[in-house]
Amino acid sequence: MNKVQTHSLFTDFDIDLFKAGKHFRLYEKLGAHIIEVNGVKGVYFAVWAPSAKTVSVVGDFNHWRQGEHELQVRWDSSGIWEGFIPGIEKGTLYKYRIESNNGGLMTEKADPFAFYCEKPPHTASVIWDLDYKWKDTNWMETRKEHNDLDKPYSVYEVHLGSWKRQGEENRFLTYLEFAEDLVKYVKETGFTHVEFMPVMEYPYDPSWGYQLIGYFAPTSRFGEPQDFMVLVDKLHQAGIGVILDWVPSHFPDDAHGLGFFDGSNLFEHPDRRKGYHPDWKSLVFNYGRNEVRSFLISNALFWLQHYHVDGLRVDAVASMLYLDYSREEGEWEPNIYGGRENLDTISFLKDFNEAVYSNFEGVQTIAEESTSFPMVSRPTFNGGLGFGMKWMMGWMHDTLEYFQKETVYRKYHQNDLTFSMTYTYTENFMLPLSHDEVVYGKKSIAGRMPGDEWQKFANLRLLYGYMFTHPGTKLLFMGSEFGQSSEWNFESSLDWHLLQYPFHNGVKLLITKLNELYKTEPALHEKQFSPEGFEWINYSDHENAVMSFIRKGNNPKDDLIVVLNFTQVIRENYRIGLPKKGKLTEVFNSDAIEFGGSGVQNTNKLLIETSPYDGKEYSTALLLPPLSVVVFKVA
């Protein structure tokens, strides 16, 4: 095997950007790249390891022997080691063997920029390329029309390892099998987007992917990188957007990973009060180090560029924002102003969002942020963090708390539902019923509903109807769309056999109809982040546990009237106030027989009378089905 040759892909400008924390395409320089030098094919290697004494590339090509292929450190104090090794081909296994200046410590590390990794529990990186001929040109040219904030955005959250398994061996599906089965299913149920829980390489299945090792590599559990490209491509061809969970909040301390990479705290913060996460027993990035910022933002842009991803949902933002997150008094240090906010994180997140939105049109970033930190989804030029959307955790908590109550007690707790409208427009909120709500003894969403079997499913249909008519975008975890009875188990398939039962199949059909309603009725999405898109009719009928409101689009003729009955009592001649004359036509009813309901409905058009009610000039009397949401249009 040929020796290492001197070669570099870096310019002086690259190094300046890297040191300044402004190089957002590092994946084009660092890592392992199949190239040709002077007519000879091989691989150029580059790794950041400023505290290293020596760095060798070891692999199956040199029998993993130290010292045979040593890289050279650059002269410019960047800490980058590099070199070209002729003859190495795609598919070769490799690592970096790093001897540290700090006491001569010797470690073997996977490549932080590897495009492909060995299938866990094996830990080597794999020489790979990103060659692929995309067929989603139409989607990419028009995706802004699908992803804008005034468009329907209904997300199906998927854990690839447990959506569906095959055979007695309980094996994973492959990316290529997902490209057939999952694409067909999402298209059938009408979701506009899929959100994948982390697909970047991770060593430990029980982490669900949230403890990443290979930030630039789709996990090899389900196939090769190009196979994942096929999956994204097929979703796009079906008109479905793709969101990836992205985890810049922490990383595991596995020996082959980023931790103590070159014998120093390279990626993690050196102060354990800022560099260690007590909840997850993991390491926290040093957001104040420019090279780390370049690494993370480059990673975000990598998935948008090379995998055509349409959005990034950023995990655990609250844990990043607060210095005292999950820490007791004395376990954290205030910032320079005496506050608890992590100023380095705030600066990093602003840079991240600015880089994403300035480089890619028609994409969204979404923050999983559970506190009242202000202006998360407001532009950075207005002082915000710059995210496109933020998860509405308060809505999720209050809504599930309300729905778990027996109906006889709900009249005492209606404020749990109405409270969300006091702050709905402070952010661009996404309403999440995510994987976190169906684990650790919380029960499935269906399992939380009170009453007998009929009431449980009626409550579930009502919950989803409320979710889809409430302002904001939507996210639903897999299995919830057909009323999975048991909690989510990451080690086994969803309970697909339940679809043979009418109640479960009815819930799936309901979700399909709700997605159709959300997409086809402008009033449900055109002003979903504007107070102009919502008007209460009556939120104070606690005694009957009924709420009513108007959803509005750009054109008044598109207005929808939404009435929700949170008890099993049928309300006859239930009067609501309305702002204009005309006739009401029922366009959606969660109590329809096809969904598993009792079939109580308003079959005829309802005349709106000149009879003041609910503080409005006109009114009409409705028939309200039990435990239902009914949607009307004014004709």
Q: Name the DSSP letter for residue 102.
A: T
**Bond from prior residue into 203 cis (ω within 30 degrees of 0):** no
606 burial via Cβ count (<10 Å: 0-12, 13-18, 19+): buried
Q: Name the DSSP letter for residue 380.
A: G
Give dist(CA 178, CA 175) in Å, integer.
5
Q: Return the axis-axis angle of helices 290-306 and 12-20, rounded to nearest 10°.
A: 110
Of these residues, 14, 157, 315, 344, which one is catalytic? 315
Cβ count near 170 (within 10 Å): 11
Which three-class secondary structure string do you get for 162-192?
CCCEECCCCEECCHHHHHHHHHHHHHHHCCC
The position carrying tokens 């926290």 is: 284
Of these residues, 14, 368, 541, 586, which one is catalytic? 368
The position carrying tokens 């390892």 is: 161
Strand partners, 16: none
Give dist(CA 586, CA 605) in Å, integer.
8
Annotation says 82 is catalytic: no
Contact between residue 366 and residue 430 where contact means Cβ atoms under 8 Å apart: yes
In sequence order, the 6+-apart residues with CB closer than 8 A to the CB of 69 are: 1, 3, 4, 56, 57, 58, 62, 83, 85
Give dist(CA 487, CA 479) in Å, integer.
10
Annotation says 315 is catalytic: yes
Backbone φ, ψ for residue 393 (5° rounding): -65, -35
Give dist(CA 249, CA 308) in Å, integer.
23
Cβ count near 633 (within 10 Å): 18
Give how far Cα 60 sits from Cα of 65, 144, 289, Å: 9, 45, 34
Give dist(CA 601, CA 585) in Å, integer.
11
Closest CA to 563 of 533, 541, 594: 541
Catalytic residue numbers read: 315, 368
